[in-house]
Each structure stands twice: as structure tokens, then as C-alpha cells.
Amino acid sequence: MNNKDRVKKIKNLLGLRGEDREDEYYRVADVLCDLRHFCDAKKINFNHEIDMSELFYDSERSYEE
């Protein structure tokens, strides 16, 4: 999967089309907030996941450059 495909995947899964609706997310901040609640409920270290996401992001960006 390339980075353009990742963008399409997120748009399809989460919405993020600029519409404030119940069945999709309006802002990235809303997604992150709900993911933080999810991590709390499942006892997942949210900050560790953020750190890992930065490593993955840097790797994926470097791969496509």
C-alpha cells in the first residue's frame, strides 16, 4: 500500500469530509480523542502508540521519496 492509498483508506473509514455528522468524523482531533478513550478502556498506552505512529510515518514517507 502506498501513502495515497493510506489517505483513501482513512477517508473511507473515518469520513473527514468536512461534515459534522454522527456517522463520520469531522476533525482529526475528534478521531484522536476517541482513540484515546478506546486506549484507556482497553488499557493500551496511547502515548506509546503515538510514538510508534511517528516511527511508522517517517519510515513510510522515506520509502516513497
23 or 39: which carries more pLDDT confidence?
39
Residues 39-58 pLDDT 10s? 999 999 999 999 999 999 99
pLDDT at residue 16 is higher than 90: no
Parse the chain into domains and list their residue ranges. 3-64
pLDDT at 21: 81
Question: What CA–CA distance (Å, rounded) separates 49 from 57?
Answer: 12
Give me the phi and psi of 22, to 5 degrees please: -70, -30
Mean pLDDT estimate for the chain: 92
pLDDT at 34: 95
